[in-house]
A = this chain, B = another copy of it.
């Protein structure tokens, strides 16, 4: 039999480079790779997994496609995937386009009413739509959501913390920056039960019609926790956690929750990794079963983490 696939856009599935890479494999090798995935397929069937999909896995068309293929495969074999995406750089770009410069306090963007509207438009009206569109092209029915849809993410204002030289901590109002107070898991489960993949923008619904921009890592953590997800998979721009950043051999494929806390306190985990690990710890406290930090720059990182014996990232349990 020569298989025909009329209704799916095969071009988006296989680019020539990819095909060239593996056509030399024997039929037996192909089959045995499929069979290697079998026990994982069985193990994960029916489980909810939240994927945090951020800037680093969005850097090229090819990488975007591979992430979407991975999610499509997860969905097809019975996993219930939920996407949370970020998009800080695109917001900055768009603000510049309308001649608006952002200032930051303790790493958080000062967000006036116009800025939060732009954030909502970029996240919910552009990046989200693009992800939904790519999944649809692969035959996966995806639904874009912001936190406003059926109050998916109720939120209130989050103050920035400024650590003064004298050791005091001041809290500063930086506008429409929020944190999640409640997640409408009913909505997510209704969509999953009906076969859709929810794609969530990190926009929160405040009182009345107030809009909040929220850190996407934390949204993913809250969503995973509220759903009691089997896994939170965070696509980042590092391979995972190292005991010594200079030494690739110090990579940790698994650490317990308690140890991660210690590594933050003693400075082993540093810089931009700190808020990520804090979000991870938060997700575990909220009810997520396991969290993996994966290198989003690696092609098919999700598949390799889930369906091969060795995995590729750091799992925190």
Contact of A33 with B33 at beta-carbon distance under 8 Å, contacts A149-B132, A150-B196 already known? yes
Residue contacts A-B, CB under 8 angstroms, 7 given: A13-B35, A21-B28, A25-B29, A31-B303, A33-B34, A41-B73, A134-B209
Confirm or deny: A69 has a beta carbon within 8 angstroms of a beta carbon on chain B. Answer: yes
User: Chain A 212-235, CB within 8 Å of chain B: the 1/0 string?
Assistant: 000000000000000000000000
Q: Which of A139-147, A268-276, A277-285 contacts B (4 or more CB under 8 A)?
A: A139-147
Complex CA–CA separation, A78 to B74 (angstroms): 12
Whether the Cβ atoms of B3 and A34 lie closer than 8 Å is no
Confirm or deny: A38 has a beta carbon within 8 angstroms of a beta carbon on chain B. Answer: yes
Neighbour of A312 across the interface among B18, B27, B45, B132, CB < 8 A: B27
Whether the Cβ atoms of A211 and B129 lie closer than 8 Å is yes
Whether the Cβ atoms of B5 and A253 lie closer than 8 Å is no
Contact of A73 with B35 at beta-carbon distance under 8 Å, contacts A124-B124, A126-B120 already known? yes
Whether the Cβ atoms of B30 and A308 lie closer than 8 Å is yes
Interface size in chain A (residues, C-beta < 8 A): 99
Confirm or deny: A59 has a beta carbon within 8 angstroms of a beta carbon on chain B. Answer: no
Complex CA–CA separation, A29 to B29 (angstroms): 10
Neighbour of A76 across the interface among B28, B78, B145, CB < 8 A: B78
Confirm or deny: A56 has a beta carbon within 8 angstroms of a beta carbon on chain B. Answer: no
Complex CA–CA separation, A150 to B45 (angstroms): 18
Confirm or deny: A256 has a beta carbon within 8 angstroms of a beta carbon on chain B. Answer: no
Which residues of B sit under 8 angstroms from A78, Cβ to Cβ? 76-78
